[in-house]
């Protein structure tokens, strides 16, 4: 790792205490050789004791603008490039940001304009009008929100060299053949439901592998952009971690189980005996198991799992052996052996006394903390109305670095009159804020509060994390006459967020959670002053007599413990005793490293461990109880015949719906709407769209879906009984959009002011058409339903869907 990229180098340059000297006109930094040492490049940021805000500010100063990075790529002849950004909105925003940068020569621009004119004449509804300006200058976005027709058009222009930069989501890395000279990765982490997650080495190298065009480039370039959250240290952590093993995605499904086990069918023409035909052509469970065990997961995992289990067994034996060397009994025997009887007796007596005094100190510390929190709770109740006071939050990270956060207090979480907040309060995952804590016979219940910090981040916290509250703050005056007060405005801005919180600290009194603010809260955060600009006189006096008494008692006990430690250090046998204690601490660190290795191996074994057969048996129990197939005789029933022939996520659920007589009275467009409700998983509304409009389904469709909901609940109960976790989709949210398209509305009409992306709607309609196209080919389905499905599929299969190329 280049030493100029290290955080220590950046800190030395930015620090006013750095001493500079000049050698041949170049400014260099003089550092103390004794302080440099031999530091690992991966651990340098952990050794430099910087607060979170200091690290963030230093990294923020290094974050390049998109234009600056693009300029470097252009000057170093590193185009064309695929630029990975982990959100559709980010890709579109990046195109708009640099759409004035001209990357094409005049002849190339003319060629793009000609190709665009041809595309518009052939597919007028597939053109993304907001992307045309950037496209004519050699920049485009490529993500799941675009129509497949438009994406194919962008891919063709990129391969011909007429698009120089494509901003794409990570799905492109594992998609079509679209290599570039350079792959730019905008961030080493991406946002998930639980917060931000660092990229795995596999993900990183998958994207970086797009760099370099076969037969054209001799080398490919991969550029990782500095962000406020990650720097070169984190980059090295990911790169040097090594690739993760391939993990089989094999899972059993209803269709698989039915097709593997099914034998004879129930005969409609019964013999004289009235029995059922029973040709033993199906497989037994043992025969099916042999097939399942030939999966890729078992093939990959056989040798790897044996080696991993052997290593895990060795590690566990080492841990067990080392653990016996840090027990009190072992240390006691060691002390008896190394120390004289007189020294041992003296130190042993003092150590027992020290243990008791530490126990008392910890109890007093807990009492002091509870009294402090109770005092803050009383003070914050007074600030629920009126002005918004400034405050300071504090916490220690996993490396015990202390952080302070200047912020403005908004209010308690319980003061928000909103269902989204109410569900958060009922969710135990935000910490034990609802649990009561006993404080000298009195009960104290921590509460959650909200604040906006100076770095434009929302913080959710309990009284545990408060350091200081100030009398001064933002005045309770509306920005415009008759408008809402600042507290109400900030509450509304918070409710617009996705409520994806990162847990940055935890304790028994609740978590400290953080979430990035938006552009709307940015101006508010700029008005939070730095802490040293606030006067000490402005601090809120929050010390009660109980709290002061608890503080004083804790101080006295700390002095007593400290004095006792000095007494132990002054004993004759302390030096030998300290060697024994140091060896125990070293052994503890070794055990921690082995346990970390053990956890990694356990996770790897769980990934490799084949679970396909367990799922197979669980599903077979469901189909046996649901009278879909008889496991013992391998006789398949009509419902099973239909389910075995369907392609879908939950074949049994789809078969149950399609065989229901309630569908026979539906018109083709209404049947399409019901089918659309079965395949809408993963389709979402986009909150940043200017309008939230979607077509509502007809009352007939809503009634049918509500009726099917009861069947769905019974199947879910049956699945839960046997441990099957295959989802059963049915959702009315987008059924109206499918019904509108199947009724003949044009693409331009249906997308006007729509809250859906073009690509999402196209994907939903294609899924619906795929299900409709299967219905005429399914066994034992009513001919009326098959005819209506054929009509609906024919109506829906029109431009721009009929020409989809992916």
pTM of full prediction above 0.95: no
- Within 8 A by CB and 6+ apart from 628, the residues are 254, 258, 622, 636, 637, 639, 640, 643, 652
| pLDDT computed for residue 57 by the predictor | 66
Least confident of 103-112, 114-123, 436-445, 701-710: 436-445
- Per the CB < 8 A criterion, the answer to whether 326 and 591 are in contact is yes
Q: pLDDT at residue 775 above 80?
A: yes
Q: pLDDT at residue 711 above 90?
A: no
The mean pLDDT of the chain is 80
**Does residue 207 lie within any of the structural domains?**
yes
- Select the more confidently predicted residue: 7 or 764: 764
**DSSP single-letter state for residue 459:** E
Q: How far apart are alpha carbons 16 and 168 in whole angstroms?
A: 41
Q: pLDDT at residue 413 above 60?
A: yes
Segment 462-480 mean pLDDT: 85
For 188, the domain range is 52-240
Segment 144-166 mean pLDDT: 88
Q: How far apart are alpha carbons 279 and 265 in whole angstroms?
A: 9
Based on DSSP, count helices (H) and strands (E) in the chain, helices before strands. Answer: 30, 20
Taking 3-state DSSP, the helix, strand and coil percentages for the chain, each rounded to the nearest 5, stand at 55, 15, 35
**Does residue 591 lie within any of the structural domains?**
no
One domain, residues 535 and 653:
no
Number of domains in the chain: 3
Q: pLDDT at residue 59 above 70?
A: no
Q: What is the CATH number of the domain that holds 194?
A: 3.40.50.300
One domain, residues 533 and 678:
no
**Does residue 495 lie within any of the structural domains?**
yes
What's the pLDDT tens digit per position in 268-292?
444 434 444 444 467 777 788 778 7
Cis previous bond, 568, omega within 30: no
Confidence of residue 540 (pLDDT cuts 50, 70, 90): confident
**Does residue 672 lie within any of the structural domains?**
yes
| pLDDT computed for residue 6 by the predictor | 67
One domain, residues 653 and 782:
yes
One domain, residues 72 and 202:
yes
* Residue that is last in its domain, among 240, 261, 292: 240
* Residue that is last in its domain, among 515, 541, 567: 541
**Does residue 335 lie within any of the structural domains?**
no
**Does residue 14 lie within any of the structural domains?**
no
One domain, residues 520 and 669:
no
The strand pair at 81-84 and 165-168 is best described as: parallel
Residue found under tokens 């080398």? 219
Nearest C-alpha neighbor of 147 from the set 769, 766, 759: 759
One domain, residues 190 and 56:
yes
* Residue that is last in its domain, among 214, 240, 266: 240
Least confident of 248-252, 418-422, 441-445, 747-751: 441-445
One domain, residues 654 and 531:
no
Cis previous bond, 148, omega within 30: no
One domain, residues 72 and 206:
yes
Least confident of 441-450, 634-643, 746-755: 441-450
Q: How far apart are alpha carbons 693 and 681 in whole angstroms?
A: 19
**Does residue 56 lie within any of the structural domains?**
yes
Residue 85 is encoded by which pair of tokens? 């950004």
Q: What is the CATH number of the domain that holds 696?
A: 1.10.3380.30
- Per the CB < 8 A criterion, the answer to whether 377 and 391 are in contact is no
Sheet of 502-505, strands arranged across = 466-474, 388-396, 402-412, 449-453, 457-461, 512-516, 502-505
**Does residue 205 lie within any of the structural domains?**
yes
């Amino acid at each position: 790792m280049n030493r100029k990229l290290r955080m220590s180098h950046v800190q030395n340059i930015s620090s006013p205490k750095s001493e500079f000297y000049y050698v041949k006109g170049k400014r260099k930094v003089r550092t103390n050789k004794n302080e440099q040492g031999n530091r690992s490049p991966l651990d340098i940021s952990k050794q430099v004791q910087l607060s979170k805000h200091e690290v963030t500010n230093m990294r923020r100063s290094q974050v390049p603008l998109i234009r600056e990075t693009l300029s470097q790529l252009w000057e170093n002849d590193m185009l064309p490039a695929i630029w990975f950004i982990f959100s559709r909105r980010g890709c579109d925003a990046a195109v708009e940001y640099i759409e004035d940068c001209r990357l094409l020569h005049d002849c190339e621009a003319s060629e793009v304009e000609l190709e665009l004119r041809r595309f518009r004449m052939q597919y007028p509804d597939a053109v993304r009008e907001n992307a045309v300006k950037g496209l004519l200058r050699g920049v485009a976005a490529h993500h799941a929100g675009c129509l497949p027709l438009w994406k194919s058009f962008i891919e063709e222009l990129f391969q011909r060299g007429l698009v120089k930069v494509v901003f794409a989501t990570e799905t492109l890395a594992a998609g079509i053949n679209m290599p570039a000279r350079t792959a730019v990765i905008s961030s080493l982490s991406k946002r998930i439901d639980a917060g931000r997650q660092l990229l795995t080495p596999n993900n990183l190298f998958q994207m970086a592998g797009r760099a370099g065009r076969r037969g054209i480039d001799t080398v490919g370039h991969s550029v990782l952009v500095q962000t406020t959250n990650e720097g070169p240290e984190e980059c090295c952590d990911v790169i040097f971690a090594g690739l993760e093993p391939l993990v089989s995605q094999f899972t059993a499904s209803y269709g698989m189980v039915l097709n593997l086990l099914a034998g004879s069918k129930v005969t409609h023409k019964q013999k004289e005996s009235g029995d059922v035909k029973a040709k033993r052509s199906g497989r037994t469970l043992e025969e099916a198991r042999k097939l399942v065990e030939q999966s890729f997961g078992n093939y990959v995992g056989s040798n790897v799992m044996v080696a991993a289990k052997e290593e895990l067994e060795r590690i566990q034996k080492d841990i067990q052996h080392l653990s016996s060397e840090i027990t009190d009994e072992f240390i006691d025997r060691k002390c008896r052996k190394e120390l004289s009887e007189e020294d041992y007796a003296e130190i042993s007596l003092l150590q027992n006394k020290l243990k008791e005094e530490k126990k008392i100190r910890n109890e007093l510390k807990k009492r002091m903390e509870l009294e402090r929190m109770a005092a803050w709770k009383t003070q914050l109740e007074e600030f629920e109305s009126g002005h918004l006071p400034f405050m300071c939050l504090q916490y220690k990270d996993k490396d015990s670095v202390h952080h302070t956060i200047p912020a403005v207090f908004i209010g308690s979480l319980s003061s928000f009159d909103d269902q989204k907040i109410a569900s958060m309060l009922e969710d135990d995952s935000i910490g034990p804020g609802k649990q009561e804590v006993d404080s000298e016979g009195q009960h104290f219940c921590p509460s959650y509060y909200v604040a906006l910090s100076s770095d434009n981040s929302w913080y959710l916290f309990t009284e545990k994390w408060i350091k200081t509250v100030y009398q001064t703050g933002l005045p309770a005056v509306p920005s415009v006459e008759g408008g809402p007060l600042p507290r109400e405005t900030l509450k509304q801005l918070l409710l617009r967020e996705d409520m994806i919180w990162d847990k940055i600290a935890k304790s028994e009194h609740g978590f400290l959670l953080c979430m990035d603010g938006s552009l709307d809260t940015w101006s508010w955060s700029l008005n939070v002053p730095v802490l040293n600009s606030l006067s000490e006189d402005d601090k809120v006096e929050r010390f009660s007599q109980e709290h002061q008494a608890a503080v004083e008692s804790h101080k006295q006990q700390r002095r007593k413990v400290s004095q006792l430690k000095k007494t132990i250090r002054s004993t004759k046998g302390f030096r030998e005793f300290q060697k024994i204690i140091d060896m125990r601490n070293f052994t503890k660190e070794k055990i921690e490293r082995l346990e970390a290795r053990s956890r990694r191996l356990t996770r790897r074994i769980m990934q490799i461990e084949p679970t396909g057969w367990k799922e197979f048996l669980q599903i077979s129990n469901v189909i046996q109880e649901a009278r879909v197939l008889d496991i013992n005789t391998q006789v398949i029933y009509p419902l099973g015949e239909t389910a075995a022939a369907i392609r879908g996520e939950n074949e049994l659920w789809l078969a149950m719906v399609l065989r229901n007589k309630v569908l026979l009275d539906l018109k083709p467009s209404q049947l399409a709407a019901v089918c659309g409700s079965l395949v809408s998983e993963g389709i979402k509304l986009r909150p940043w769209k200017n309008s939230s409009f979607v077509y509502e389904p007809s009352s007939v469709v809503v009634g049918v879906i509500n009726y099917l909901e009861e069947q769905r609940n019974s199947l879910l109960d049956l699945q839960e009984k046997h441990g099957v976790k295959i989802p059963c989709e049915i959702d009315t949210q987008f059924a109206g959009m499918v019904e509108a398209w199947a009724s003949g509305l044009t693409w331009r009409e249906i997308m006007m002011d729509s809250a859906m992306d073009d690509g999402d709607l196209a994907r939903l309609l294609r899924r619906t058409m795929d299900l409709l196209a299967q219905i005429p080919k399914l066994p034992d389905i009513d001919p009326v339903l098959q005819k209506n499905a054929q009509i609906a599929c024919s109506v829906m299969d029109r431009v721009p869907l009929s020409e989809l190329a992916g």
